[in-house]
Amino acid sequence: MIHRLPSWTGLWFASATAASAKRPLHHALFDMRLGDQTQTLTKAPTLPCDGAGDLTLLLSDELLLRVLAAVPDSLRLPASLVCKRWLRLVGRLRRSLTLLEWSFLNTGRLPLRFPDLTDLDLVPASFASPSGSAAGAPLLTSGPVSVVVDTHADPPIGDCRFLDPDAIDRCLEIVARECPGLRKLSLVAVASETGLMAVAGGCETLQELELHRCSDLALRPISVFANLQILKLVGSVEGLYRGPGVTDIGLTILGHGCKRLVKLELSGCEGSYDGISAIGRCCLMLEELTIADHRMDAGWMTALSFCANLKTLRLQNCRSIDTDPGPLEHLGACPAMETLQIQRCQLRDRRSLQALFVVCETIRDLVLEDCWGLENDLFSLASICRRVMCLSLKGCSRVTTAGLEQIVLSCIDLQRLTVVSCNKIKDSEVSPALSSRFLYLKELKWRPDSKSVLAMSLMGMRLGRKGGRFFRRVRMKLLLY
């Protein structure tokens, strides 16, 4: 006969059954106690539902601000819905804001709701909705801007309208009066000089300014901004709005008015050799220049040599670099240039690309991203920049392994290499000379295609061998059992 040890449930029910004659069954719960300790049940105190139950009322605004500042940004919005006091305090913690509704600023609610703003973007709210637009009208989105499309216009997508300049001037005066701590401001340059001068006088700490639909006349009061260091000028955006644009006149005004500029971005602007050379001669502190979707005349790239302290040159969304850069012997190099970034540009002209590399021959970092028309013949021109230490190649689908090998072997100081989404670069075509060069790199990011990602991960972690041993060991255990 097999004797089993009694289980805990059996012992408990047995003790409960034996004691049921002397005391009620509900006292069986007190058999589960530790030593001689007695358990007492106390009722938890309940707080009243009125204001006396809010313990945060005992904290000052300064202490509660320190507590809310430690809350993650994703949870601050739900925290602001607790009460009006929390809503006001969370608004004081807000530093950056993109305005979507112009009435929020026109009625004066913006400074009351967010009194300590340092970054304000007024561009999305500056577009005027077409008359008679329904609630479900289609939207045209370009970056952070969404504009209601006028379906009755011909064509419906074209030059979007902005608010009245007088309305923008009045709101700029409110910003200048109520937001003196602004450091970055984005607006549409359809206002008069009075509005911009009011901002320059009221926001003395303003360091970064972004002007959309900018023109030469809008740059006349630019010299009033004494502490301006970062400036972005957007002349026009294709499919969204067209403007008079910025020409050599505006670039000359800019160069003489903002001599403390450190970063400058020209998007959709016109100009030529005269405008760029004026900026190079006057803005001696300029270190970063971004040129996007330019409409400049031939020969503008020759003026880059006047930017003596320029360290970073960035070209974005350019259909061409320079249609006629001139003879190579007339080009001067930028002595302080360190980084060249070419993103989403059409690189089909050999002369302009060669001239660009001659101007930037002293660079240490070269970034090529999603460049159309970049073949091995054009990519080989990068060997002019022999001091490159960091090379990044992303989305260049026409460059092959042979073209990459030519550049990598010519750059003696190369230390970091990134190859991502370049489908014609194959693992099987890597030569022994190129693979041995990889061994001396400090950083290698190799993902030319999805197959290479899988091959590199398996080879680096040796998952194939470990997986085989593991499954063989499991199979042997199953056979033994």
Rounded (5°) CA angle 3-6-9:
150
pLDDT of residue 304: 94
pLDDT of residue 52: 52
Residue 143 has pLDDT above 70, yes or no: no
3-state secondary structure of 445: strand
Q: How far apart are CA 138 and CA 146, in angstroms?
A: 10
Amino acid at 456: M
402-411 pLDDT, tens digit each? 999 999 999 9
pLDDT of residue 476: 43
Average pLDDT value for the chain:
80
Looking at the DSSP bridge assignments, the partners of residue 369 are 343, 394
pLDDT of residue 449: 84
Q: Which stretch of 240-244, 334-338, 417-421 has the lowest confidence by average pLDDT?
A: 240-244
Q: What is the mean pLDDT of residues 78-94?
A: 80
For 292, list phi and psi in degrees, rounded to 5: -125, 130
Rounded to the nearest 5 percent, the helix, strand and coil shares of the chain are: 40, 15, 45
pLDDT of residue 338: 96
Residue 289 binned pLDDT confidence (cut-offs 50, 70, 90)? very high
- Burial label, 393 (beta-carbon count in 10 A; 0-12, 13-18, 19+): buried
**Cα 370 from chain centroid (whole Å):** 18
- Which H, E and C letters describe 199-227, residue by residue? HHHHCCCCCEEEEECCECHHHHHHHHCCC
- Burial label, 63 (beta-carbon count in 10 A; 0-12, 13-18, 19+): exposed
Q: How far is CA 161 from CA 126, 217, 284, in A?
A: 9, 19, 37
Q: How far apart are CA 331 and CA 325, in angstroms?
A: 8
pLDDT of residue 337: 95
Which contacts of 87-91 are long-range, i.e. CB under 8 A and separated by 24 or more positions?
A: 89/61, 89/64, 89/65, 91/115
pLDDT of residue 150: 64
Q: Which stretch of 28-37, 172-181, 385-394, 444-453 has the lowest confidence by average pLDDT?
A: 28-37
215-230 pLDDT, tens digit each? 999 999 999 998 899 9
5-53 pLDDT, tens digit each? 554 444 444 444 444 444 443 433 333 333 444 444 344 444 444 445 6
Residue 357 has pLDDT above 70, yes or no: yes
**Residues in CB range of 298: below 8 A, 6 or more apart:** 272, 322, 323, 324, 325
pLDDT of residue 277: 95
How many C-beta neighbours within 10 Å does residue 209 have?
24
> Does residue 408 contact residue 434 with C-beta atoms inside 8 Å?
yes
pLDDT of residue 249: 95
Select the more confidently predicted residue: 355 or 458: 355
Q: How far apart are CA 315 and CA 390, in angstroms?
A: 18
- Burial label, 16 (beta-carbon count in 10 A; 0-12, 13-18, 19+): middle
The domain spans of the chain are 58-93, 96-130+140-378
pLDDT of residue 239: 73
Tell me whether domains 58-93 and 96-130+140-378 share a fold: no
Q: Which two tokens stand for residue 191?
A: 């206002």
pLDDT of residue 455: 57
Residue 453 has pLDDT above 80, yes or no: no
Q: How far is CA 380 from CA 320, 344, 357, 420, in A?
A: 19, 19, 11, 18
pLDDT of residue 33: 38
Q: Which stretch of 97-106, 290-299, 333-342 has the lowest confidence by average pLDDT?
A: 97-106
What Rg value do the Cα atoms of the chain yield, rounded?
34
Residue 183 binned pLDDT confidence (cut-offs 50, 70, 90)? very high
Q: What is the mean pLDDT of residues 230-250?
A: 88
CATH architecture of 58-93: Up-down Bundle (1.20)
pLDDT of residue 244: 83
pLDDT of residue 20: 44
Closest CA to 243 of 212, 283, 276: 212
State the CATH class of domain 96-130+140-378. alpha beta
Select the more confidently predicted residue: 20 or 424: 424
pLDDT of residue 310: 96
